[in-house]
């Protein structure tokens, strides 16, 4: 049902105001990123973007995403199945715990990971004895990112699975399908768009996570920089055009995620436009 | 939903619940427990010295006050955007709708450097801001700007669906009974959307309190003046003062819980409110 009307005079004033605010507050920063990134020309932009240090940061960022996105997806699906397909006491508590990381500052998440895995923590001391490096290395960055994005898929899949109930699955089971086959052939197709939507949110956040990662990375140049950390490093080295060149690269990736999210959004939310 | 007595028919509860609890425990709860355990190991004097130092107190004041300003701004602008997007049909509406999600998509560090560049003296808005005599970058207004930027979508996305679902008949009835547009807004529309607006603003507030990446580039980061709490935690870590970092981190954690508790309260109130209005 379309309830939107052509605006009247007052409506146009409000639209104009909304457009002005959006352009100034949200559009201008985007423009600035590319303007500053290309301030020294395409050649300089390409030199920064194709440098070895950028390649290392891109590699670590992609590695993080490659681990974080599938794991968070599996966890989200498992959590949604456990919470929506069964009735049991304490469900509400579990949902609250699943959503807990939403309300935790990324810095606090980073400090929590550091206390556990850092050399002075209980687990950290054991790791040190066994010569396993987690903090200030890729595993620490991955663990911190897993923490921050953990509720993303569950949050998207749970409402849809709840809405769909269990009738389809029960029918499949009655017809003789096994549990796994029922899940793959019936449940997964039913929630695929919500799952995809959650995975996109996960990927976008893993791509851009800064606070939690900056606590656990150790900022070792050429080794433990993700793309956002590398921007930070260049920026504080007073390499403005370098920082913005990398920022523009990261922005392009983020915009790809945004477009994918918009494409999936309508289907993910039950076929109705928001 | 048919989840009642037949629920036992589906397999996989123990498997999925086991995976969920194990994963949640390892990834989220264990680090948090370690943090709380470490904080519990501090003496009361140590804890209070870290949490109650004048420098820390200055960061709480600055962070909370800036977040309050940012959320007030977003309450107004978010309501405007939600209203325009939900109510009017105009060319470019879907693009505007998509633009609202930019702060969700844009990595916070990128937002931070971009906002700083836009508002610093030689930036895009620098001359205009200087003409007005406003110092934004490397000052408190910059912190408010960064907070407003990152948390705006929370307000819009929480109010927009409620405006889309508004009962147009009630507005019509108001008008027929002789109410002016302003009276319809104040008496019919605002009461219905107020809870969702409040819920969105609370979420935005929680986000502002914890924000780090977008702020540290623009803030200037002078102790007692433009240093936010999240940064102080980071600085304590860099000084290897883990005790102080832990103590302040736990304080921030507890503050976030209280805000979310309030948010849940507001949401419950909203549900009841909507239930009452929708027969």
ipTM: 0.91
Answer yes or no: is pLDDT of A244 > 80.
yes
| One-character DSSP codes across B17-33 | HHHHHHHHIIIIIHHHH
A198 falls in which pLDDT band (50, 70, 90)?
A: very high
Residue B205 covered by a domain: yes
Distance from A199 to chain B by nearest Cα, in Å? 13
Between chains, do A82 and B16 touch, taking CB under 8 Å as contact? yes
Distances (CA, A) of A13 to A19, A196, A197, B182: 10, 38, 35, 15
Q: How many domains does chain B have?
A: 1
d(CA A111, CA B233): 9
Residue of chain A nearest B119, judged by CA positions? A29
Q: What is the pLDDT of residue A267?
A: 76
* DSSP secondary structure letter of residue B228: -
Contact at 8 Å (CB) between B89 and B226?
Answer: no
Which residues touch B94 (CB under 8 Å, ≥6 apart)?
Answer: none
Which residue, among A193, A238, A57, A228, has the nearest Cα to A138 in the 3D structure? Answer: A57
| Spatial CB neighbours of B108, under 8 Å, sequence gap ≥ 6 | A208, A210, A211, A228, B150, B211, B212, B213, B214
- For residues B2 and A164, the answer to whether their CB atoms sit within 8 Å is no
Sign of the dihedral through C-alpha B173, B175, B180, B182: positive
Pairwise CB contact (< 8 Å): B6 & A170: yes
Number of neighbours of residue B191 by Cβ within 10 angstroms: 11
Res A246 pLDDT > 90: yes
Q: Which of A181, A86, A163, A72 is CA-nearest to residue B13?
A: A86
With left for phi above 0 and alpha for psi between -120 and 50, is residue A270 left, alpha or beta?
left
Q: Which chain B residue shows the shortest CA-CA distance from A230?
A: B109
Which CA distances in Å does B84 have to A107, A155, B78, B163, B184? 35, 28, 10, 10, 17
| The pLDDT of residue A196 is above 90 | yes
B20, part of any domain:
no
Q: Flag whether B254 is in a domain.
A: yes
Residue B193's domain comprises 51-277
Residue A72 above 90 pLDDT? Answer: yes
Q: What is the pLDDT of residue B145?
A: 96
Q: B95 lies in a domain?
A: yes
Contact A29 B160 (CB under 8 A): no
Question: Which has the closest alpha carbon to A94: A102, A83, A106?
Answer: A83
> pLDDT tens string for chain B (279 positions)?
444 434 456 888 899 999 999 999 999 999 999 999 999 999 999 999 999 999 999 999 999 999 999 999 999 999 999 999 999 999 999 999 999 999 989 999 999 999 999 998 888 888 888 889 888 889 999 999 999 999 999 999 999 999 998 888 888 888 888 888 888 888 888 888 988 899 899 989 999 999 999 999 999 899 999 999 999 999 999 999 999 999 999 999 999 889 888 877 877 876 776 666 554
Confidence band, pLDDT 50/70/90 cuts, at residue A133: confident
pLDDT per residue over A135-192, tens digit each?
Answer: 888 999 999 999 999 999 999 999 999 988 888 999 998 898 888 889 999 999 999 9
The predicted structure's pLDDT at residue A17: 96
pLDDT of residue B96: 94
Residue A132 confidence class, pLDDT cut points 50, 70, 90 = confident
What pLDDT is attached to residue B274? 65
With an 8 Å Cβ cutoff, is B197 touching chain A?
no
CA distance B126 to B117: 9
Q: Do A107 and B89 touch (CB under 8 A)?
A: no
* Superfamily name with CATH number, domain A42-268: MetI-like (1.10.3720.10)
Q: Are B99 and A43 in contact (CB under 8 A)?
A: no
| Nearest residue to A65 (alpha-carbon basis) of A194, A268, A185, A204 | A204
Which member of A4, A29, A88 has the closest CB to residue B111? A29
Note whether B88 contacts A: Cβ–Cβ < 8 A: yes
Contact between residue A222 and residue A56 where contact means Cβ atoms under 8 Å apart: yes
Please choose, from the candidates A58, A60, A39, the residue with its C-alpha nearest in 3D space to the C-alpha of residue A50: A58
Query: How many C-alpha atoms does B24 have within 13 Å on its Cβ side?
Result: 23
Taking residue A39's Cβ as centre, other Cβ atoms within 10 Å add up to 14
pTM score, whole prediction:
0.91
**Domain assignment present for B255:** yes
End-to-end CA separation in angstroms for chain A: 11
Q: Does the beta-carbon distance from B6 to A19 stay under 8 Å?
A: no
Q: What is the CATH number of the domain that holds B96?
A: 1.10.3720.10
Out of A14, A28, A262, closest to residue B84 by CB: A14
d(C-alpha B258, C-alpha A57), whole Å:
37
Would you call A170 and B9 a contact, using CB atoms and an 8 Å cutoff? yes
What mean pLDDT, rounded, does chain A reach?
Answer: 90
pLDDT value at residue A235: 94
CA nearest to A173, candidates A85, A88, A89, A87: A85
**pLDDT score recorded for residue B278:** 53
The confidence score (pLDDT) of residue A274 equals: 40
CB distance B246 to A111 below 8 Å: yes
**Average pLDDT in the A67-87 region?**
95
Q: Is the pLDDT of residue A220 over 90?
A: no
């Amino acid at each position: 049902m379309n309830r939107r009307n052509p605006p009247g005079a007052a409506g146009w004033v409000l639209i104009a105001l909304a457009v002005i605010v959006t352009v100034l507050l949200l559009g201008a920063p985007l423009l600035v990123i590319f303007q500053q990134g290309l301030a020294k020309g395409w050649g300089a932009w390409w030199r920064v973007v194709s440098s070895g240090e950028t390649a290392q940061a891109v590699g670590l960022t992609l590695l993080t995403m490659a681990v974080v996105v599938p794991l968070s997806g599996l966890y989200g699906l498992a959590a949604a199945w456990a919470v929506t397909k069964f009735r049991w006491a304490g469900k509400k508590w579990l949902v609250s715990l699943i959503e807990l990381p939403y309300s935790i500052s990324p810095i606090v998440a980073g400090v929590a990971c550091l206390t556990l895995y850092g050399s002075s923590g209980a687990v950290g001391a054991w790791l040190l004895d066994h010569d396993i490096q987690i903090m200030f290395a890729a595993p620490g960055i991955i663990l911190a990112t897993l923490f921050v994005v953990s509720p993303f898929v569950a949050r998207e899949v749970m409402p849809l699975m709840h809405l769909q109930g269990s009738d389809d699955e029960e029918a499949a089971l009655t017809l003789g399908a096994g549990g796994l086959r029922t899940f793959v052939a019936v449940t997964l197709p039913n929630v695929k768009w919500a799952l995809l939507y959650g995975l996109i949110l996960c990927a976008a956040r893993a791509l851009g996570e800064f606070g939690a990662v900056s606590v656990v990375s150790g900022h070792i140049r050429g080794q433990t920089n993700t793309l956002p950390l590398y921007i930070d490093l260049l920026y504080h080295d007073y390499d403005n055009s370098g920082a913005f060149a990398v920022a523009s690269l990261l922005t392009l990736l983020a915009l790809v995620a945004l477009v994918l999210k918009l494409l999936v959004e309508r289907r993910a939310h039950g076929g109705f436009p928001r | 939903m048919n989840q009642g007595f037949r629920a036992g028919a589906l397999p996989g509860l123990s498997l999925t619940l086991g995976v969920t609890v194990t994963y949640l425990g390892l990834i989220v709860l264990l680090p948090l427990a370690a943090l709380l355990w470490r904080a519990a190991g501090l003496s009361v004097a140590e804890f209070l010295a870290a949490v109650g130092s004048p420098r820390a107190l200055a960061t709480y004041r600055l962070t909370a006050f800036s977040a309050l300003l940012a959320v007030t701004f977003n309450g107004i602008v978010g309501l405007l955007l939600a209203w325009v997007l939900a109510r009017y049909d105009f060319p470019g509406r879907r693009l505007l709708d998509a633009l609202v999600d930019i702060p969700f998509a844009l990595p916070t560090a990128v937002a931070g450097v971009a906002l700083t560049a836009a508002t610093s003296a030689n930036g895009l808005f620098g001359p205009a801001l200087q003409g007005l005599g406003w110092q934004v970058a490397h000052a408190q207004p910059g912190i408010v700007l960064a907070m407003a930027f990152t948390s705006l979508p929370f307000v819009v996305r929480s109010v927009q669906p409620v405006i889309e679902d508004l009962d147009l008949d009630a507005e019509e009835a108001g008008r027929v009974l002789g109410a002016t547009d302003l009276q319809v807004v104040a008496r019919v529309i605002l009461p219905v959307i107020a809870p969702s607006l409040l819920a969105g603003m609370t979420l935005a507030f929680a986000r502002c309190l914890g924000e780090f990446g977008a702020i540290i580039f623009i803030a200037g980061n002078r102790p007692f003046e433009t240093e936010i709490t999240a940064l102080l935690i980071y600085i304590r870590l860099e000084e290897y003062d883990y005790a102080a970092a832990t103590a302040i981190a736990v304080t921030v954690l507890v503050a976030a819980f209280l805000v979310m508790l309030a948010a849940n309260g507001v949401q419950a109130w909203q549900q009841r409110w909507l239930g009452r209005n929708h027969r």
